[in-house]
């Protein structure tokens, strides 16, 4: 059984640029959630996708957008990057049978200069 994978591992961008982060969910999982974790803080919920539809969104501006594909993998897109977007971006997947247990990927460390 393959766990949650994310790419890239690290990324450096400059203000105003756009970025796409990718996540492959664990086998058999149909729900993907994205979180932003600033240094020394807990993860903050960005949004969740279930069967290719957005299924909830946290307090993030519209320049944070996402997609889920038929194979349940997912993308997080961030436009017009700001310095405060520098953080660890975590993807988590879960299954319908065990909704309350989320399996996290290793994250993508984004640095905005």
Partner 1 sequence: GQSLEQPSEVTAVEGAIVQINCTYQTSGFYGLSWYQQHDGGAPTFLSYNALDGLEETGRFSSFLSRSDSYGYLLLQELQMKDSASYFCAVSDQAGTALIFGKGTTLSVSS
Nearer to partner 1, 15 or 51 (CB): 51
CA separation for the pair 72, 52 (Å, rounded): 7
- Least separation in angstroms between residue 18's CB and partner 1 is 25
Using DSSP, state whether 70 is helix, strand or coil.
Answer: coil
- Least separation in angstroms between residue 13's CB and partner 1 is 21
CA separation for the pair 113, 108 (Å, rounded): 16
- Bin 56: left if φ > 0, else alpha if -120 < ψ < 50, else beta: left
Nearer to partner 1, 58 or 65 (CB): 58
Nearer to partner 1, 68 or 102 (CB): 102
- The C-alpha R_g of the chain, in whole angstroms, comes to 13
User: Site residues (CB under 8 A) for partner 1?
Assistant: 4, 31, 33, 35, 40-45, 48, 55-56, 58, 90, 92, 94, 96, 99-107
């Amino acid at each position: 059984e393959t766990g949650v994978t994310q790419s890239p591992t690290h990324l450096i961008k400059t203000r105003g640029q756009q970025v796409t982060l990718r996540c492959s969910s664990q086998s058999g999982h149909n729900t993907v959630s994205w979180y932003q974790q600033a240094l020394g803080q807990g993860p903050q919920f960005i949004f969740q996708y279930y069967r290719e539809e957005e299924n909830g969104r946290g307090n993030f501006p519209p320049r944070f957008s996402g997609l889920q594909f038929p194979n349940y993998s997912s993308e997080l897109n961030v436009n017009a990057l700001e310095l405060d977007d520098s953080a660890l971006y975590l993807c988590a997947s879960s299954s319908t049978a065990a909704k309350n247990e989320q399996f996290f990927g290793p994250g993508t460390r984004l640095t905005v200069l």
